[in-house]
Amino acid sequence: MKVYISADIEGVTGVTSWDEAESDKPEYIRFAEQMTREVKAACQGAIRAGASEIWIKDAHNTARNIDPREMPKNSKLVRGWSGHPFAMVQELDETFDAALFIGYHSCAGSNDNPLAHTMSGKVRYIKINDKYVSEFLLNAYAAASVGVPVVFVSGDKGLCSEVKRVNNNIITLGVKDGIGGSTINMNPDLAVELIEKEVEKALTRDLKLGEIRLPEHFKVEICFAKHTDAFKASFYPGMKEMSSNSVLYESDNYFDVLTMISFVV
């Protein structure tokens, strides 16, 4: 079994402030260590379920957060950003049996995580077909576009609720609750223990339970915090200016959607 893991940090237990998520801040180190521990736990759960090959995308900020020394021998760690439109799921393709998302977080505009955002701090929100979308959904759709089911997601409880609305069969683990600018967090050791257990469970069930159906058409609305960013984005081919802060892009091809996002967001 070949398994893909995409990992972020804002949904890792304990992480509450941007100072804990940015590599130039002193608080960052211990939370990067917890991110590494949670990813390692997912790998161990996958191995217990029979995974012979694991690919891991470090998908936060510099994409150089996970300690490679802690990853198993049968894994490959993708660090840095290539510029490919798949971004947080770079190298994911039809050869994988399942995908897992670790440390993911709620979307821009939500109140479920003090660090809630979607792709960058430039946007107030991104909607697809009039629904707010998170990085989970953007990347789950990418997985669906190459026929890979998403079987497990860990992160804040608000995101877990979104995941269940998309596909109630996906196993989720909420390791934190966001309340305004605060978080209520699971014990770090317990989070590691449960991630390993739940990943093993997710990978020993029928993997098809994690399949997500792609819409036939994508109407993508992006609202920027700054009107200057919206004005610049309005010149992307096929983009329409909706207001001083928002633009609209439509396509039947999801890869085109991801390409657009990679250029304007």
Q: Which two tokens stand for residue 209?
A: 């339970």
Quick: pLDDT tens for 94-139: 999 999 999 999 999 899 999 999 999 999 999 999 999 999 999 9
Residues 142 and 175 in one domain: yes
Q: How confident is the model at residue 157 (pLDDT cuts 50, 70, 90)?
A: very high
Say what the pLDDT of residue 188 is: 98
Annotated binding site for Zn(2+): 8, 10, 60, 105, 135
Residues 260 and 152 in one domain: no
Residues noted as catalytic: 117
Question: Rounded to 5 degrees, what are φ and ψ at 11?
Answer: -100, 10
Range of the domain at 62: 2-118+134-210
Q: 139 lies in a domain?
A: yes
What's 165's domain CATH number?
Answer: 3.40.50.10780
Q: Which two tokens stand for residue 174?
A: 């909420």
Residues 146 and 256 in one domain: no
Residues 83 and 101 in one domain: yes
Q: 128 lies in a domain?
A: no
Say what the pLDDT of residue 173 is: 98
Residues 178 and 246 in one domain: no
Say what the pLDDT of residue 129 is: 98
For residue 45, list its beta bridge partners: none
Residues 111 and 43 in one domain: yes
Q: 168 lies in a domain?
A: yes
Per cent of the chain over pLDDT 70 is 100
Annotated binding site: 8, 10, 60, 105, 135
Say what the pLDDT of residue 163 is: 98
Residues 257 and 197 in one domain: no
The pTM (predicted TM-score) of the whole model is: 0.97
Q: 47 lies in a domain?
A: yes
Q: How far is CA 88 from CA 15, 58, 84, 222, in A?
A: 19, 8, 9, 19
CB-count exposure of residue 139 (10 Å: 0-12, 13-18, 19+) = buried
Residues 104 and 188 in one domain: yes
Residues 147 and 32 in one domain: yes
Q: How confident is the model at residue 73 (pLDDT cuts 50, 70, 90)?
A: very high
Residues 171 and 246 in one domain: no
Residues 109 and 225 in one domain: no
Q: Total structural domains in the chain?
A: 2
Quick: pLDDT tens for 176-186: 999 999 999 99
Q: 84 lies in a domain?
A: yes
Residues 54 and 95 in one domain: yes
| Exposure string over 198-215, b if 16+ CB within 10 A, otherwise e | bbbebbeeebeebbbeee
Quick: pLDDT tens for 179-234: 999 999 999 999 999 999 999 999 999 999 999 999 999 999 999 999 999 999 99
Q: 127 lies in a domain?
A: no
